[in-house]
Structure 1
Amino acid sequence: MQCAIQDCLTKNGFNQDKCEHLVDALYECCQTFYKRNGDRASTVSCPKPDLLRLKLQQRKKQ
């Protein structure tokens, strides 16, 4: 998924607006990861659980 985000950004001149759908998909995947494995789980692909929750909350307001 990270490669897809990077490819999208590169292809679109690093215009993040054109790649938001991929960022949303990553955050949803991360949310599922933490629900399954708990907040103490770690992965290099996802923000820490508290930051992820904040990001998801901010994105809902947009």
Structure 2
Amino acid sequence: MGKCVDPCKAQACAIQDCLKKHGFDESKCTAHIDRLYACCKQFYESEGRDARSPCCPTPKLLKFKMEQRAEELLDARLVR
């Protein structure tokens, strides 16, 4: 097989599985979301900001989402 085009696919699929398991309650899946964002951050750091994965937000949106989660704590745990 060739190089994996979707390096964060496992993390994205884990989010979907978690959501299905918990009746689409995002508050139960925040750790999976954090793992996806960490994977995407590493992907862009290694492949460059012009790289793309269908499983990752664009670098600009990813940065915003990570900052939002860290600074404002706006995530599914607080939005119920």
Band the TM-score falls in, shorter-chain normalisation: over 0.9
Runs of 5+ consecutive residues of structure 1 not aligned to the other structure: none
Q: Which runs of 4+ in 1 moved over 4 A?
A: none
The structure richer in helix per residue is 1
Alignment correspondent of 2:48: 38
TM-score with structure 2 setting the length: 0.75
Q: Bigger relative contact order, structure 1 or 2, given CA contacts below 8 A and separation 6+? A: 2
Query: Could you list the per-position Cα deviations for residues 13-62 of structure 1 after superposition, in whole angstroms to 9, with x for gaps in the alignment?
Result: 10001000000000000000000011001111100000000000000021
Give the aligned CA root-mean-square deviation in angstroms. Answer: 0.6
Alignment correspondent of 1:12: 22
Aligned residue pairs, count:
62
Runs of 5+ consecutive residues of structure 2 not aligned to the other structure: 1-10, 74-80
For the pair shown, which has the larger CA radius of gyration, 1 or 2? 2
